[in-house]
Every structure is written in structure tokens, then in C-alpha cells.
Structure 1
Amino acid sequence: MPVFQLHNGVSFMHEVKEFASDLSLYGIPYQECEHWLEVGDCESRNNFVLYISVLSQQAQSLLHQVLPLLKEYAVSYRLLKNDRLVDQSNGLTLGIKDAGKVIVIYPCHAKQARQLARELEKVTGAFQGITPYDSLRIGKVLYTALDTGISYHIPAAYRNKRRKGIIGKYYIPVKLLRFNPKGDIYLGVNIKQFAFSHCIIKQARAASYIDRYGRESVHKLFWQKSVLEAIQHELPVPQVIDFCSKGEDHYLVTSYINGQVLPEQLRDVYQTRIWRELGVMDKARILSYFLQITETIARLHELGYLHRDIQINNFIIREDKVYLLDFELAYYMPAGTPDPPFGYGTMVFMSPQQRQSEQPRVEDDIYSLGVVLAFMILNPADQESFSGNIYNALVNAGLEAVLLEVVINCLDPDPVNRPSLSSIITLLKTGDIPEKIELV
């Protein structure tokens, strides 16, 4: 099962394949727009959109099958600029809503959409891709938006099936908590020995993702199980219950932590206020969460692990205790495993070095902690609005100078200049924070 050691220190950087050259090869004019190459008028939207999903290692081959057909139909479309962006999209780094949408096609009308879908299915049947968010599968790697009003012929193999029955021998999924193209997360009931207790069932969907080293979603899920088993008696994390399979899919079953994710907890504290309007006790409560987070990461590092996906949705608060989740991207420093590390993370929380797939280091987690602290102070409505000039936003929110310095230093582009976790912990515990904020 495990595929944790592949190259023994050999660089895992690869030459990026730019897709502009493929468009030029077929004489197709295009414009660049952020991380897209756009052909035709991609601003006029309609209800007939089609998506093509493909793995990064197959993307260029798929283009040579698809581009002549799209040129013949004279439709507008956009595609990701290169295979690195395809990797990032499939890895959810560009956001779950855009994951897997490597090519987005805008047919002019319903009849053209049906005709083009039939032709595309003929030339894309040999490829693989992940399942895009909020979409209907109508071919091997072909999808459309939900509720288009168009009746497509969908082969039986691609029709959506409701998952029923028991996972493994004892686990019944009762509620979908989060859709993920690579595998969903369910709230379940554990009926082993008539316990009837809640559990979390995390899926690795078969053939949903393959990285350029041949590792699939199941390998990341099994790695998470291994990490949790190594640290679960040392840190506030979910406890491993089981690892099992059903059909070709695999599942990690862990204990259920009945609490609120960090953003929900913050909204309860802030209500309609901003940082400068909070009382001392509310500020102390928020900083106590951040102190717990920092101490947990420090202990994780002492155990030899980097987390590499420290972001606000990976913390659950239960009775003011912070629990850390999601260890699929973790890296074990003493053994250098996985080698190469599993890729990417959550874009806005990643250090510049992690975005460039450099060798993992402690300072990557410290950078992410700085972003988490900024988020906790600004309390944005969502991650999409958490962008722009964070420094000015923190100043406008009334953040005390000593805490502002922590954020600035954590986000220093040069890892050498980032503070140690011990210095952050000391500051939070004993530092002269203005307004005499005392941690609870």
C-alpha cells in the first residue's frame, strides 16, 4: 500500500509544459487571463457549459485530441496555462470550486452542446480525471453544469449512484459533510459491538487522482493513517478507528470531534465587531486559540513531523480546546518521507517555498501560522475575501503592534527571518501585549 519513498533525495522539480505552444501549433489565437488561456469570447456566459477534467501527465496528449475538434466547432473555451496549474487544480490548491475544470467550453446553444459532447466523448475515452465540484458527469472525463435543462445520454457507468450500505463491516455513512473530488467526508455511525457512536469516514475515491509519481488518493489517505497512529497519543487529533475498503474505494475511519471549525468559532466571538471593538476577554480567548495552535505545531515538530496544510478549516474547537486535523500532506523529517512530499496545500496559507515545491522545512509551517493569525484577527466572511493588503487591513482593525510584528515576521519571504515557534509562544505567554491582554 504505502508509496512513501521514491527518489531518495533526488529533486522532484519538473519541466513545466506550457499549453500556449499547443494552441499555436493548431493556429488557434488566444489571450491570457490570470491562469487561463482563453479562446474566443469567454465573457459571454450561458447555461450550456462543458468541463473536461484530466490528470496533469495526460493533459498535453488530451489537448491534441480535443483542440482540432474545438476549432472545428468554433466554440469559445478556456484552458489552464500549463501542466503545473493542472496539478494544482487537481490538488485543490486553486480552490475546490474550480478543481478538475482543466478546459471550460462554452457552446453557443443546446444542440451544439449535445453534438460537441458526443464528439468529445469519442476522443477522450482513454483519459482520466477527477470529478469537478457541482457538476454532472456525462462522459469519461466530460462534465456539465447541473440543471442545464439539456438532456444528455449518459452511459450507465457514469451515472451518479447514491452510496448505500455499510463501509467495511461496521460503519454506516449518515451525512455528507464535505464533497471532495478525490474522496468525500461523511459523518458516520460505528456499530461495532453495538457502540452506535459517531465517527468520521474519509474516502479515497478510486482513479480520482494520480500524481506524476504514480501515487493515488489512497496512498495519501494511508499516509494520514500512519501519521495519526504515530501522534494520536501525543497531540489533540482524531483517533484512528479503522482503514477499510468498499469496491475500489478506500476509507479512513476516525473518531468524531463534536465541535466547531475555527472560522465558525471566530464568528461567534466577533459577532458584528472587528478586533479593535472586542473586549479584553474576547481578545484573550482568540489569542488562547492561537497559542494552543502554535503549541500543538511545536509539539508536532518535536515528534519529527511538518504539517504542511495549516489553514483555518483544519482546526476544530471543542469546549475551548483546539484539535488539529488533516495530515495527508504531513512530512516526516527524520526519514525524509514521503519522498517526494505529497504536493501543494491551501494556496493562500502556503509559503512561497512550498508553492515552488521546494524541500519542506519548519519555516513553511511558521509562514502558515502567520496567515492563520492574520485570518483570526481580520475574521473575513470567507477565504475568497481574505486577500489584498493584509498589513493595511490589520492596522485598520486595530491590531496591537507586538502582534502585528508577529504576523509580519512569520510572512517574511526569506525563511531565515521567520521567528521560531518558541519565541512566538513566549511572546503570547509573557509578552507585554498592549491593553494587558491576559491569556485565559
Structure 2
Amino acid sequence: MSVFQLNNGYSLSTHEVKEFASDLSSYGIPYQESEHWLEVGDCELRNNFTLYISVLSQQVQSLLHQVIPVLEGYAVSYRLLKNNRLVDQSNGLTLGIKEAGRIIEIYPKQAKQAIQLVRELESVTSTFQGITPYDSLRIGKVLYTALDTGIRYHIPVAYRNKRRKGIIGKYYIPTKLLRFNPKGDIYLGVNIKQFAFSHCIIKQARAASFIDRYGRESAHKLFWQKSVLEAIQHELPVPQVIDFCSKGEDHYLVTSYINGQVLPERLKDVYRDRIWRELGVVDKVKILGYFLQITEILKRLHELGYLHRDVQINNFIIKEDKVYLLDFELAYYMPAGTPDPPFGYGTAMFMSPQQRRSEQPEPGDDIYSMGVVLAFMILNPVDQESFSGNIYNALVNAGLEAVLLDVVINCLDPAPAKRPTLSSIITLLKTGDIPGKIELV
């Protein structure tokens, strides 16, 4: 595969893979393989009655032996992910946030059958745990369906969505959902401590939303992010830690609010439906200035001993032309080798081949991601999903200058030792043959 061929679905874990085909075979159930799935019956059937079962990878096989007899009794079609590695990838959002948590998909033929199925499935799955799938209605402990199906399910009170989160900790009131995430949402909130009434960001770690093979949950990653931010927040443009608290079984990191635009939004404002070759020098310099700031932030982060390991376009916010770096859950502290082992998973397409293979973290991982970020900034795709395929021709067709094309090519070199240093990228941006060059503010 070309280093410019970007796609989803990389293998991320090296631990033992448990194939679920053997579980189907133990019941004598015929199945077909289709991409990530094992399919039983006619899985082309799509209607408003589709049910989803979400479950953690450690519990899949136990759940299957509870669920399969029920599904066979109703003679419904269904499909499940092939193995526990794919379940980890799904729960870790590597297969895409819209697919996360949909470990088993069930296709009842009619509403009455769906209602009966849910009742029986809930009775055998109420002890299991799973993440919350995207754009879904929770109707059981690990059972979900699409929104607005028209079916009136009896939903236990414990699983009903609450319109308001209520106060978090003692002082933080969520006011707006900024981003849904199966492992924990992000809210804009108000900090009422000492009558400050200032905006803050409230990041949630849902209980039992993810457990890696070392027993670490989303809350562990969130607490690690707090620790990293506290260590670097006076050195770099990052959110400031306000608090870490819990409500029920969920945990929350409260940080300062940076009132700006995420990088893709700012790029669209600059491009205004043009491509790179159509931009004037002022706009090109503005975009490259953002990239220079990103490079300098990462250089300083590395000097402090940390790797970010999730360098991607949605983790940068621009406020008054100043770049801020977000989301340190996957960070790695090189001097102490912590966390040990490193937290797994990153953002598909932005990860280096070494990170996808769960190899020892190194600076080259962030530099690879920098190359993908620069390519994204030049191509300004409609959305992240469309940013795939062979991007080399797209960069050439966009009119990218040779010196910048070389930066992308070199950052994406399969061999980490051949990737450029952050210092050399900075020098190139300031002194290279680039329109307008870069003026540091």
C-alpha cells in the first residue's frame, strides 16, 4: 500500500484473536463472511426494526452463548463482528464513530417480533456491559435501536435518557452537548464556583464504556489526561485543568473553555470553496502559519518528554489566529515510559504504521501524523470520511509547491528514521522557497 493510500480499519492489537465463527459452528449455524462480519440469514434486510447489541470484547463470547439460542428461536437474521480484535476496534472508535458499539446487528421482520425479542434478550443480557452506539435509543442494558422507529418499547427507568445532566461535582453545570462520544460526551458548561459563572469544558468518561486487556477503563485515560495537562499547561497553549470529579459511576475532567474554531472550520473560512492553487499569498501564509504553530507546539511537547499520539485535525482549536492543542488521553511520557503499556488506539488515517501495530511509541509517530495533517490542510476535504484514497495526485492537482509536497512525502515515510525532525520542518517553513515565507508573530 502506498504511504499516500489512507483508509480505515487497520489492525491495531497484537494480542490473541478469538474468532467467533467457532461459536456459531458449535451450534451448527451456517454463516457467510462479509468484510468485518459473520452473517446469519438474509442480512440484506434493512428496516426500522433493527436492533443493536453493544458489548465489551472481554464479554462477547459469554454473551453469544446467551443470545444465540434466543435469536435462533425467533429465526431472525443477524450479523456479528468476526473476532474480539474487531470488537476492540469498534469500541475504540477505530472503525468510525458511527459504527462504534454495534457488535451484533439483529433484523426482526416486524414490530411485534422486535418487541418480543427485546424482552427476551434483555432477560439474558442484563449483566453485560457495552458502550453507547452513535445516534441510537437505549432500550435495555446493552440493547439499542435506531431513533424514531415508531415502536413503543418499554424502557426501564434506569436506561431512559435524561434531558439534563444536572450539576457535575459541586460547581459545574452542563449547558450544551458539543460532541457525542460512545466512551463519554463533551459538554460546554458553566463553572459556578465562587460565583464565577464562567464557561468551561466538561469531558465525560462513561463507566464501563471501554476496558482494555489490562483492565484499564476510560476513566483511567481521562485521569491520565488530567495529569499530562497539569504537567504542561504552563508551557504550552493547552486547556487549563479546573477539576476532576465523578457523578454516579461516571468521571469528568473539567477544563478551561477556549472560544475558537476547530482547525477544519477555520480552513473552510480561509478557502471559501477554492483550492490551494487558487489562494493568494496572504491566505497561503495564514494556513502555513497555523501549520508552523502546530509544529512548534509539538516540538516543545517533545522537549518536555511527551508524545501526543493523537495528532489529528480536530485536536487543534484556533482562537484569534493562535493554535491550541487538545486531547492528551493517548499521550506518552518518554523519560519514565508511562503509561506502561501505552494506551492503545488513535485516529484512523492519522496514525503511523508503527502505532497501528502497537509498537513502542516514538517521536516519529507524531511526525507521521503531522504529514497527514498538512495534507488535510492543503486539500481541505468536505469531511474526514472523504479524506482517503491516494492523496498524492490530489496534492499535485491542488498545485502544492514541491517543497511542501516533499514535507508530506518525508513525514509519511514508512521508516521512522527517515522522517524529518520537527526542527527541520520549522526551518524549512521559515526559510524555504514557499510563497511569502512565514513570519513569526
Pick which of 90-99 and 233-242 moved more.
Answer: 90-99
Residue in 2 aligned with 1:45?
46
Per-residue deviation, 1:166: 2.1
Letter in structure 2 aligned against 1:182: K
SS of aligned partner of 2:349: helix
Mind listing any 5+ residue stretches in structure 1 that lack a counterpart? 1-11
**Would the aligned equivalents of 1:285 and 1:439 in 2 still touch at CA under 8 Å?**
no
Task: Tell me how far apart the structure 1 counterparts of residues 113 and 317 of structure 2 sit (CA, whole Å).
Answer: 47
Distance change (3 Å), C-alpha of 1:71 and 1:412: farther
- Which amino acid in the other structure matches residue 116 of structure 2? Q
1:324 maps to a residue whose letter is L
Gaps of 5+ in 2: 1-12
SS at match of 2:79: strand
CA positional deviation for 1:274: 0.6
Deviation readout 1:234-284 (Å, 9 max, x if unpaired):
000000111112222221111000000000000000011011111111111
- 2:63: which partner in 1? 62
SS at match of 2:222: helix
- 1:6 matched to which residue of 2? none
* 1:204 matched residue in structure 2: 205
Alpha-carbon distance in 2 for matches of 1:438, 1:237: 23
1:13-92 aligned within 5 A: 13-92=14-93
Q: How does 1:343-422 map to 2 (within 5 A)?
A: 343-422=344-423
Residue 101 of structure 1 aligns with which residue? 102
The 2-side partners of 1:148 and 1:75 are apart by 18
Report which stretch shifted further, 122-131 or 227-236: 122-131
Q: Does 1:338 align with 2:339?
A: yes
Distance in 2 of aligned mates of 1:234 and 1:364: 22
Contact kept? 1:139, 1:158, Cα under 8 Å: yes
1: distance between equivalents of 2:24 and 2:393? 41
Residue equivalent to 1:7: none
**TM-score of the two chains, using structure 2 as the length reference:** 0.94
- Pairs aligned (count): 428
1:24-47 alpha-carbon deviations (Å, 9 max, x no partner): 332333333322222233233100
- For 2:208 and 2:416, the matched residues in 1 are separated by 37
Q: Deviations over 1:354-394 (max 9, x none)?
A: 11211211111111111111110110111111111111111
Find the aligned partners of 2:289 and 2:59 in 1 and give their Cα distance: 47
Name the CA distance, whole Å, in 2 between partners of 1:99 and 1:382. 18
TM-score (norm. length: structure 1)? 0.94
In 2, the alpha carbon distance for the partners of 1:125 and 1:97 equals: 24
The code of the aligned residue for 1:167 comes to I
Residue in 2 aligned with 1:9? none
Matches within 5 A, 1:24-423: 24-423=25-424
The one-letter code matched in structure 1 to 2:270 is V
Quote the Cα distance in structure 2 between the aligned partners of 1:79 and 1:439.
Answer: 54
Contact 1:205 1:217 in 2 (8 A): yes
Measure how far apart 1:438 and its partner are. 4.1
Does the 8 A contact of 2:282 with 2:436 survive in 1?
no
Contact 1:280 1:437 in 2 (8 A): no
3-state SS in 2 of match to 1:349:
coil
Task: Return 154-163 or 82-91, whichever deviates more.
Answer: 154-163
User: Which stretch has the larger CA shift, 43-52 or 319-328?
Assistant: 43-52
Q: Aligned equivalents of 1:408 and 1:26: distance in 2?
A: 51
Preserved CA contact (<8 Å) 2:245 2:251 = yes
Percent of residue pairs bearing the same amino acid type: 86
Alpha-carbon distance change, 158 to 436 in structure 1, aligned in 2, over 3 angstroms: closer
Indicate how the Cα distance of structure 1 residues 71 and 413 shifts in structure 2: closer, same or farther if over 3 A, else same: farther
| One-letter amino acid of the counterpart of residue 150, structure 1 | I
Amino acid corresponding to residue 154 of structure 1 in structure 2: I
- Is the Cα contact below 8 Å between 2:57 and 2:87 reproduced in 1? yes
* Higher alpha-carbon deviation: 311-320 or 27-36: 27-36
Matches of 1:164 and 1:372, distance apart in 2 = 35
Cα distance in 2 for partners of 1:401, 1:35 equals 39
How far apart, in 1, do the equivalents of 2:222 and 2:165 lie? 22
User: Per-residue CA shift, 1:277-330, capped at 9, x if unaligned?
Assistant: 111111111011011101111111111111011110000000110000000111
Deviations 1:53-98 (Å, cap 9, x if unpaired)?
Answer: 0001111221222223223322222211211111111111222111
**Which whole-Å CA distance do the structure 2 matches of 1:226 and 1:327 have between them?**
9
Partners in 2 of 1:38 and 1:352 — Cα distance? 30
Aligned to 1:5: none
Is the Cα contact below 8 Å between 1:99 and 1:133 reproduced in 2?
yes
Which string of whole-angstrom CA distances, capped at 9 and with x for unpartnered residues, describes residues 95-153 of structure 1?
Answer: 21111111111111111111211221122122111111111111111111111111111
In 1, Cα distance between the equivalents of 2:233 and 2:265?
A: 25
Distance 1:331 1:270 in 2: 35
Contact 2:429 2:437 in 1 (8 A): no
Offset, 1:338: 0.8
Amino acid at match of 1:93: T
Specify the code of the residue in structure 2 equivalent to 1:63.
L
Higher alpha-carbon deviation: 372-381 or 183-192: 183-192
Structure 1 residue 162: Cα displacement: 2.7
Q: Is the 8 A contact 1:283 1:437 kept in 2?
A: no
Task: Give SS of 2:408's match.
Answer: helix
Three-state SS of the structure 1 residue aligned to 2:163 is coil
Give the drift of 1:185: 0.9
CA distance in 1, matches of 2:409, 2:71: 47
| Cα distance in 1, alignment partners of residues 39 and 379 from structure 2 | 35
Q: Does structure 2 conserve the Cα–Cα contact (< 8 Å) formed by 1:287 and 1:439?
A: no
2:389 counterpart SS class: coil
Give the Cα–Cα distance (whole angstroms) in 1 for the partners of residues 439 and 44 of structure 2.
51
